């Protein structure tokens, strides 16, 4: 996928999620199926996932290369990333990224703030995706807590899928 297509995918997936969450009853934000995250926790998790990516993409490129290295393989396509994510999820058996473990349940009063922040972070990622060079998208790598080190192009595509994954879970459970 080229940069514009990836940025458009990020926009589509985040817009769909936010529109769906805004249309839900307020009590669903704080109450969910037994043992499952609430809508608020799902939105907060996605926010906690995108902020570190945007922060990393704000670093000087030489620092990213120095800290994490560079890719030693070709970039995978979107479907391959999705398939690998599902394989890793099966192997993780319910493990959660440390920032999302024992997550608080956001209050109804925090709903609009979280959705606004999620939309803002999505727009930042779209902008950064369009501005970074193809060379840096394919050669620079960043660590992912479940997937390991990934080229930046892959981790951005994964981010779009991550939102879709949670949106589908929410639609199924609510």
Residue 24 lies in a domain: no
- Position 94 scores a pLDDT of 60
Q: What's the pTM?
A: 0.93
Domain range for residue 81?
3-15+37-173
b/e per residue, 98-116, with b = 16+ CB within 10 A? eebeebeebeeebbeebbe
Distances (CA, A) of 101 to 28, 121, 170: 20, 21, 18
Q: Count up the domains in the chain and report the number.
A: 1
Residue 168 lies in a domain: yes
Residues 83/54, Cβ–Cβ less than 8 Å:
no
DSSP lists the bridge partners of residue 2 as none
> To the nearest whole number, what is the mean pLDDT of the chain?
94
Give the pLDDT confidence of 124-137 residue by residue, as tens digits.
Answer: 999 999 999 999 99
If one counts every other C-beta atom within 10 angstroms of the C-beta of residue 77, the result is 12
Residue 82 has, within 13 A of its CA and on its CB side, a CA count of 9
Residue 31 lies in a domain: no
Residue 27 lies in a domain: no
Provide the pLDDT confidence category of residue 149 given band limits of 50, 70 and 90. Answer: very high
- Position 93 scores a pLDDT of 67
- Position 90 scores a pLDDT of 87
Residue 145 lies in a domain: yes
- Position 91 scores a pLDDT of 80
Provide the pLDDT confidence category of residue 79 given band limits of 50, 70 and 90. Answer: very high
Residue 118 lies in a domain: yes
Provide the pLDDT confidence category of residue 102 given band limits of 50, 70 and 90. Answer: confident
């Amino acid at each position: 996928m080229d940069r514009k297509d990836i940025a458009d995918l990020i926009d589509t997936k985040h817009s769909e999620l936010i529109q769906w969450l805004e249309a839900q009853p307020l009590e669903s934000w704080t109450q969910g199926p037994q043992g499952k995250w609430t809508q608020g926790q799902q939105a907060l998790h996605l926010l906690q996932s995108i902020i570190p990516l945007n922060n990393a993409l704000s670093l000087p490129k030489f620092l990213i290369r120095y800290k994490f290295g560079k890719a030693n393989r070709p970039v995978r396509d979107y479907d391959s990333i999705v398939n690998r994510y599902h394989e890793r999820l099966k192997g993780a058996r319910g493990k959660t990224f440390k920032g999302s473990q024992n997550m608080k349940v956001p209050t109804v009063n925090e709903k609009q703030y979280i959705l606004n922040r999620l939309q803002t972070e999505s727009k930042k990622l779209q902008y950064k995706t369009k501005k970074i060079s193809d060379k840096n998208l394919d050669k620079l790598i960043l660590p992912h807590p479940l997937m390991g080190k990934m080229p930046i192009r892959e981790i951005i595509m994964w981010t779009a899928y991550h939102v879709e994954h949670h949106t589908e879970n929410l639609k199924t459970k609510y």
